[in-house]
Structure 1
Amino acid sequence: MSETRVAALRVRPRIWIGLTIWLAYTVLVFVVGKLSGVPYTDLGDDGGTLFLGAGLSLIIGAILLAITTSLLGWWRPALFERKRSVRWPIFVPVIMGVALVTNLASTDWGSYDLGFFAASIVLILVGFTEELTTRGLLLVGLRSRLGEGWVWFLSSAAFALMHLVNALTGQDLGTTLTQVGFAFLGGTIFYILRRTTGTLIWAMVLHGLWDFSTFAVGHGTPGPLGALGGTIYLVAGIAGLAVVAFVIRGADERIAR
């Protein structure tokens, strides 16, 4: 990115700014979740618990992130690449899309009521908030000093570590650590989708729909293929690790200091 482009931003990108935003968002989710009094393991019980335990923090987070991004003037670098990578690794997020459809096809839709469905729709906001936080604003900060390999690794690791708060809101540590590992794979998939499409927007969409599908399939009695979605997701994540170097190679996204 040229010095002119940097000068056009209201605030010059810095790693500490991206990390501060990431930490603030993580703390916000934790605090709102604790104040709601809803344990993480009870989120899918009904619409009220899902909204208070997850949806409310997403709404607040989305508003604050939009304001922060506007004040920084980072919308364009947060949402768009200067140049797309090679296209063929997009098969990785496509596999994740298959996992998403499998979840939806296995969902016990008869167990839904209007309240749970409405709260589930709010849950889609997670694609906007978590992607803008990690593969948006944090990524912009990291690109001010680091090479693209570190940008992928650290943004994916930060996304994974956000899920540690679930252990502080009722989920057992072993399950949480497994979730952290799976989240790192997911972060890699979303990073590949950003690089291959040239925009974070599609990652936001896939991420939001994925979380919607995981809560959907976990509500009521899932169909016989209910566990298959997670297996397909794991295949996508491993494939992502195998090909992520190809979307990193030749990246020219470094923001001039």
Structure 2
Amino acid sequence: MGGIDATGGIDDGGTPGPAAPWQDFWERGGVGRAVLAAAVYLALYLGGSLVVGAWFAHAVDPDDLFATPAGVFVALALPLLVGAVVLVVFVASLRWFPVIFGPQPAGRGWMWVAPALVLAPVLLRALGVDYGAYAAGVVATTLFAGLLVGFVEEVLCRGVVVGLLRRGGSSEWVVMIVSSVIFAFLHSSNALSGMAPATVALTVVFTFGFGVAMYLTLRVTGNLVWPILLHGLFDPMMFLATGGIDETSTVAPTSPLLALAGPTNLLFIALGLITLFLARAVNVRPTGRDTPRPAAA
């Protein structure tokens, strides 16, 4: 009885077949391939955003992306849908879904600070946002777009990139730092939209710390689903609280809960800096419950 052909599975004799060149290239992993995957995705995403913007510019208010549900969908959700399709096709072509969504190297107790740090501002903003200030349907569309952000950015950075770094033999501390640097690099593209350089720099520093928090969440929860969900809630609540994307509101918060949520961004920066010195606390033990599962599918 025949099996999977020479694209990396089982041949007619029931023995493993050679991997296709495409799969073999990515299975080698390493920092270079992780950067390449992220850079290619970013280029495709930005290109898709330009096309979407050119076709549906009439639906978006350039002065207020959150003015209408259609504006949110076109400006935020539609490019992310394109990016999600690209990622799904890429991961499926390599047969990595079982690994990316499989068990992770066990985390340690202190790592629970990361999901707690993400969840706290989510709850504060969820309770403090003035939902009545938005047109009907904007909040729901923003939440949908946020879940797309969580799926795309986590599958790419904590799924594909982390997997490539592990395949290349990197320690978990290096995996955490490099994947978070790549995550931050992706957000430097905000400069192309005309964002002020100082704001871009602050965004990059913040997203590095947030990337560290997502990596630690991945480790301590043991599954990529949880970073996707937490990230997918964090971003839309921030959008609704500030009225923008990767922006800091210049208007005083109308709710004391929003005022409390704002300074938590500094805690992500602190977390990112502190973990630079925690290599032994992040790396998995050579034996025992912290031993990571094999990287190969």
TM-score range, shorter-chain basis? 0.7 to 0.9
Question: Where do residues 174-253 of structure 1 align in structure 2 (5 Å cutoff)?
Answer: 174-219=198-243, 222-239=254-271, 241-242=273-274, 245=279, 246-250=281-285, 252-253=291-292
In the alignment, does 2:48 pair up with 1:32?
Answer: yes
Residues 45-67 of structure 1 deviation map (CA, whole Å, 9 limit, x = unaligned): 43333222221111111122112
Where structure 2 has 5 or more consecutive residues not aligned to the other structure, the ranges are 1-8, 10-15, 245-252
TM-score by length of 1: 0.85
- Please state how far the C-alpha of 1:252 moved relative to its aligned partner: 4.0
Question: What is the SS of the residue equivalent to 2:257?
Answer: coil
Give the 3 Å change call, closer, same or farther, for CA 115–25 of structure 1 in structure 2: farther
Query: AA paired with 1:95?
Result: L
Partner of 1:143: 166
Residues 29-58 of structure 1 deviation map (CA, whole Å, 9 limit, x = unaligned): 322333415698743343333222221111
Contact 2:143 2:233 (C-alpha < 8 Å) held by counterparts: no
Identity among equivalent pairs (%): 28
In the alignment, does 2:154 pair up with 1:131?
Answer: yes
Give the 3 Å change call, closer, same or farther, for CA 100–82 of structure 1 in structure 2: closer
Q: Distance in 2 between matches of 1:174 and 1:240?
A: 19
Q: Distance in 1 between matches of 2:218 and 2:94?
A: 21
Q: Which 10-residue stretch deviates more, 196-205 or 212-221? A: 212-221
Question: What is the SS of the residue equivalent to 2:258?
Answer: coil
Using CA pairs under 8 Å that are at least 6 residues apart, name the structure with larger relative contact order, 1 or 2: 1
Question: Where do residues 2-17 of structure 1 align in structure 2 (5 Å cutoff)?
Answer: 11-12=23-24, 13=27, 14-15=29-30, 16-17=32-33
Contact 1:196 1:247 (C-alpha < 8 Å) held by counterparts: no
Q: Compute the RMSD of aligned alpha carbons.
A: 2.8
Q: Distance in 1 between matches of 2:151 and 2:94?
A: 17
TM-score by length of 2: 0.75
Where structure 1 has 5 or more consecutive residues not aligned to the other structure, the ranges are none
Aligned length: 251
Partner of 1:52: 74
Contact 1:78 1:136 (C-alpha < 8 Å) held by counterparts: yes
In the alignment, does 2:143 pair up with 1:121?
Answer: yes
Contact 2:125 2:237 (C-alpha < 8 Å) held by counterparts: yes
Question: What is the SS of the residue equivalent to 2:256?
Answer: coil
Q: Distance in 1 between matches of 2:272 and 2:204?
A: 16
- Please state how far the C-alpha of 1:199 moved relative to its aligned partner: 1.1
Q: Distance in 1 between matches of 2:67 and 2:182?
A: 28
Structure possessing the higher radius of gyration over alpha carbons: 2
Q: Distance in 1 between matches of 2:174 and 2:43?
A: 24
More helix by share: 1
- Please state how far the C-alpha of 1:242 moved relative to its aligned partner: 3.1
Q: Which 10-residue stretch deviates more, 127-136 or 247-256? A: 247-256
Question: What is the SS of the residue equivalent to 2:255?
Answer: coil
